[in-house]
Amino acid sequence: MRRLLIYLLVCAPGFWLLAAQDAEEQLIVDTAYKWLALTDAGQYEAAWNAYPQRITSGGLGQNWIGLMQARRTPLGKPKSRELIKITHQSKLRGAPDGDYSIVEFETSFERKTNSIENVTLTKENGYWQVSGYHFH
């Protein structure tokens, strides 16, 4: 009984921390997938409006939407998308220091078989929001 108590005191906090980290990562991935569903459907204005206000307030929405229509639409619908990795950072070039996660996917589109998508998320107002998207 004493060993069990010692085990729980030593290991249980680590278990709960790991479970909390897993839940946070799942929330990050789910947020990225939900946002990607907007781009997959060609709903670029809605995808733009999901960005944090510090980004959308700059008046670049029409430029971003036009870029997506010119570069993303020609790829067609995704045929497959597989999570590769999640990278957590506190600093990104050109952005304020904060809590960032970059979610990387390997994606096959109708007209581009091998592509890498990077979805950057930031936690600014207590919840995760997409704040950047890049594919190649």
pLDDT tens digits for range 22-53: 899 999 999 999 999 999 999 999 999 999 99
CB 116, CB 125: distance < 8 Å? no
Instruction: Measure the CA–CA gap between 38 and 50, rounded to whole angstroms.
Output: 10
pLDDT tens digits for range 48-64: 999 999 999 988 999 99
The residue ranges of every structural domain in the chain are: 17-135
* Short-list 70, 77, 75, 83, CA closest to 41: 77
CB 96, CB 26: distance < 8 Å? no
With H, G, I as helix, E, B as strand and everything else as coil, classify residue 1: coil
- For domain 17-135, give the fold: Nuclear Transport Factor 2; Chain: A, (3.10.450)
